Structure 1
């Protein structure tokens, strides 16, 4: 299993590798997963490790499968990824969804990227099954005033 630092470095590389493709888009896709390569599952893997290390309720029985990236914003020296995490519990076939937001500083050199924030789960709206999300994707529509359950701020040098 890879460390948080290794997954973060892979994620940074993936995002930098696809930045030009993203900038060249002239339409708004429904999801950005294909455009951003492996970023969706790298985000999921990184968040799972961070949750398990920092929150007791994210024990070995919970896992994150993947993410669906619904919005990408490049602004000044930041990249902001918004979307849905798909997660589950051992011994249960259902999967659930919760919103996430990932923000990272970007620079001209991918090696100097190191600070990021992960926000996950809406305090005021409970998780819904993946099937319910598929049928009602508007449930997790962007809310600028969302109250986040998990807030993780990191500097790569501290991992």
Structure 2
């Protein structure tokens, strides 16, 4: 009987761990930005995307914002946690309205702390704090 209990517990813990790995791998790939949940800014989103890849020791993100290319690392953890590292980008100038969209986009990426997969959509969000009240809490991406 003891052996059956240990076998059951071992299978239970192994299956939980396997699901976590699968969930993380589902984040890998190319994602097109489809907008903000609240329709925050009127920005042309057709060229905005990100690619998530697994490196040797961490996940990496690269993509295109409204004007510039960007790159970062991302820490993906248990409980759907998702945190960007320092975000680097090219420094090209663009039309003022696109630069405003890009600044807001990068500001949001810095605050992201949670991800949610819903079919072929990736929702990146954070728990809003009072000082962030003007920034919408959800960015939505769709798998390419």
Task: Specify which structure has the bigger relative contact order, considering alpha-carbon pairs within 8 angstroms and separated by 6 or more residues.
Answer: 2
Question: Is TM > 0.5 for Structure 1 vs Structure 2?
Answer: no
What TM-score, normalized to structure 1?
0.33
Q: Looking at CA atoms only, which structure, 1 or 2, has the larger radius of gyration? A: 2
